[in-house]
Amino acid sequence: MEKEERNSLGQWSQNVIVADADYVDDVAFNLIVNFERMLGRRIPPADMARWAECIALDGGLRADGNGGQQTQVVLIHDKKHARLTNFVPADYSSELNGKAFKGPLGEFVVNAYPVESVTTKDDFLRDVLSTMLAVDVVRRIMVVPNAEREGTYDSLRRLLRDAPEGKSVTLFAMQPMPGGAFRQEILGYSLMQALGIRAEEIG
C-alpha cells in the first residue's frame, strides 16, 4: 500500500468492495494448502492489492483511461484478529486501514473495521450494504460474505432483492448460489490470481 488516505463509512466511492475479511483469509488458507500439495511448490501469501483489483474486474469495473476513478475496499473482521494470516500486507491497523494504492483501474482506498461484541459481522455487513444501496454516489457494489454460514446468503438475497435501479451488485462465493437479483462470481478465481497460481499450472 502506497500512502495514507483518510476515508470513513460516511464518505463513499462510486465503487465499493465490502468483504468478510476473516472468511476470505480462511479461503486463502485452504487454497494454499490444497495447491501446495497439488503443485508441489510453496504458495506465497495472497497479494491484497492484486486481489482487490481482481475482485473489481470480476465485478465489472474497467479502466477509465485516466486512472481517475476510486474504489473503496471495506474489510470487516473480528476484533480479536489484528491481522490477516494469508495476505500481504496483513496488519489491519498499521498496514491496511487508511492506506491506498493506484493501478490500471484507478485508486483503491482500504478501510478495516473490527466488529465489536455488541454486533456480528453479518449484521455489520448488512448495515453497510443497506447504506450503500441508499447512497446515490455508490454505483457498483462487490460483496464477499461468508455465504457458507447458515442464513447469511439468504439474508443478503432478501436485502438485495430491492436494490435500486442503476446499482450494479456482484456477490462472490466459492460456488454458485441459488437465485438472487444480482450477478454472481466465484471467489476462488480472484484468490488464485492473488496467490500467483497460474492457469497453465492446473490446466
Mean pLDDT of 58-81: 92
- Structural domain range at position 74: 3-7+19-202
* Residue 14 belongs to some domain of the structure: no
Largest CA distance in the chain: 48
* Residue 59 belongs to some domain of the structure: yes
* Residue 13 belongs to some domain of the structure: no
pLDDT per position as a tens digit, 95-105: 999 999 999 99
Domain count, the chain: 1
Per DSSP bridges, beta strands 70-78 and 46-47 are unpaired
H-run or E-run covering 38: helix 21-39
pLDDT per position as a tens digit, 154-172: 999 999 998 999 999 999 9
Q: What is the pLDDT of residue 181?
A: 86
Report the percent of the chain where pLDDT is more than 90: 83
User: How many Å separate Cα 6 from the centre of its chain?
Assistant: 19
Would you place residue 7 in the very low, low, confident or very high pLDDT band (cuts 50, 70, 90)?
very low
| Helix, strand, coil percentages for the chain (3-state, nearest 5) | 35, 25, 40
